[in-house]
Amino acid sequence: MNPKVSLTRHLVEKQRVDGHIPGQLRLLLEVVARACKGISHAVNKGALGGVLGSAGSENVQGEVQKKLDIIANEVLIEANEWGGHLAAMASEEMEAIHVVPNRYPKGEYLLLFDPLDGSSNIDVNVSIGTIFSVLKMPEDDRGVEEADFLQPGSHQVAAGYCVYGPQTTLVLTVGDGVDMFTLDREQGSFILTQEGLRIPEDTQEFAINMSNMRHWAPPVRRYIDECLAGQEGPRGKNFNMRWVASMVADVHRILMRGGIFMYPWDAREPGKPGKLRLMYEANPMSWLIEQAGGAATNGRQRILDVQPRQLHERVSVILGARNEVERVTRYHAEAA
């Protein structure tokens, strides 16, 4: 592979050859990538930039906001609102949608993001990231409103994340596979470092927060019990476990070397369908995983088919190696 293919060149060539990324979408993705570069710089400064610690406020879900959560949210909004490619944005950190102000031209896309996922890892120097999803405004829509965002994940036209770890890495799909770009800090640009990522159908590595075990539903417990039984158990093989507690980092590992990730429903808060957010986390990650040959369900249904009812809706998430996700989903059906 030519190591010098920048994100810009990659997208221009995609637009030219396949013709299926419209110019406005290409622009939008470049702006999101530029915002991620800005966030990466802020993250890297850490204590030297005075960006660590709590901001003393709460977001719409009652979670304490970190300074970097707010900075990342502002960087994304400021970068995206003037370009003319968007109609509105929605963020995990904002209660209401952010409509592009009247002083700027409006475009036909909607951008959704979790500006800084893995907030509990910010202050301890562990990988965190930005997750984003792009939808189109419904046709014949006169004014943008929250209901325009409530489209199933299968309607996404682009999705990706940027992980701020030992390297800053952007992973992207526009519906024809998954490509990965690494930030070249000297050049200041994202360089294509892997094309057509694929997830093996089987795995011997799972990711779940084991401290919630006593709250899990029986099908999840059955699956993990069988993994833990190792070679002598019904699976006949040993499993390894990893849990970074940053979805971006856990999903990135799965795209790199396989595995299954679960943040399933549990009985801690019975009314809540799960911890992770459908629109900002589950949908973009599920599409990336499917585009890499994996699968993603909420235990009963393909995540991309879930019809959202609210912007900040939560969902149970099981994603990664196809055969493992199908197994967990089958265990749910058998327990029903």
Binding residues for substrate: 117-120, 209, 275
Kindly state the tokens that stand for 293. Answer: 């040959």
- 93 binds Mg ion, rule: CB under 5 A: no
From the CB of 148, what's the least distance to ligand AHM, in Å?
A: 23
- Cβ neighbours of residue 248 under 8 Å, at least 6 residues apart? 117, 118, 127, 128, 129, 130, 131, 161, 162, 163
Residue set of the binding site for Mg(2+): 92, 114, 116-117, 281
- Cβ neighbours of residue 171 under 8 Å, at least 6 residues apart? 160, 161, 162, 163, 178, 179, 180, 181, 197, 252, 255, 288
Is the CB of 151 or the CB of 246 nearer to Mg ion? 246
Distance CA 57, CA 248 (A): 24
Task: Give the one entry of Mg ion, ligand AHM, none that residue 263 binds, where binding means its C-beta sits below a cut-off of 5 to 8 angstroms depending on kind.
Answer: ligand AHM
Residue set of the binding site: 92, 114, 116-120, 209, 275, 281
Task: Give the one entry of ligand AHM, Mg ion, none that residue 30 binds, where binding means its C-beta sits below a cut-off of 5 to 8 angstroms depending on kind.
Answer: none
From the CB of 154, what's the least distance to ligand AHM, in Å?
A: 23
Half-sphere exposure for 96 (CA within 13 Å, toward CB): 5
Is the CB of 275 or the CB of 332 nearer to ligand AHM? 275
Nearest-CB residue for ligand AHM: 247
Task: Give the one entry of Mg ion, ligand AHM, none that residue 246 binds, where binding means its C-beta sits below a cut-off of 5 to 8 angstroms depending on kind.
Answer: ligand AHM
Q: Which residues pair with 168 in a beta bridge?
A: 164
The structure tokens 């470049």 sit at 30
Is the CB of 30 or the CB of 114 nearer to ligand AHM? 114
From the CB of 274, what's the least distance to ligand AHM, in Å?
A: 11
Strand pairing category for 260-263 and 205-207:
parallel
Is the CB of 107 or the CB of 274 nearer to ligand AHM? 274
Phi, psi of 331 (to 5 degrees): -60, -35
From the CB of 106, what's the least distance to ligand AHM, in Å?
A: 28
Task: Give the one entry of ligand AHM, Mg ion, none that residue 33 binds, where binding means its C-beta sits below a cut-off of 5 to 8 angstroms depending on kind.
Answer: none
Binding site for ligand AHM (CB under 6 A): 63, 114, 117-120, 209, 245-247, 263
Distance of CA 176 to the CA centre of its chain: 17
From the CB of 126, what's the least distance to ligand AHM, in Å?
A: 11
Output DSSP code: residue 216. Answer: B
Question: 124, 94, 126: which is closest to 111 by C-alpha?
Answer: 94
From the CB of 50, what's the least distance to ligand AHM, in Å?
A: 21
Is the CB of 43 or the CB of 247 nearer to ligand AHM? 247
Half-sphere exposure for 313 (CA within 13 Å, toward CB): 21
Interface with Mg ion in residues 102-131 (CB under 5 A): 114, 117
Is the CB of 48 or the CB of 124 nearer to Mg ion? 124
- 69 binds Mg ion, rule: CB under 5 A: no
Using CB atoms within 10 Å of the CB of residue 171, give its burial: 0 to 12 exposed, 13 to 18 middle, 19+ buried: buried
Output DSSP code: residue 147. Answer: G
Distance of CA 79 to the CA centre of its chain: 19
Nearest-CB residue for Mg ion: 117
Distance of CA 251 to the CA centre of its chain: 8
From the CB of 186, what's the least distance to ligand AHM, in Å?
A: 30
Residues in contact with Mg ion by the rule CB under 5 A = 114, 117
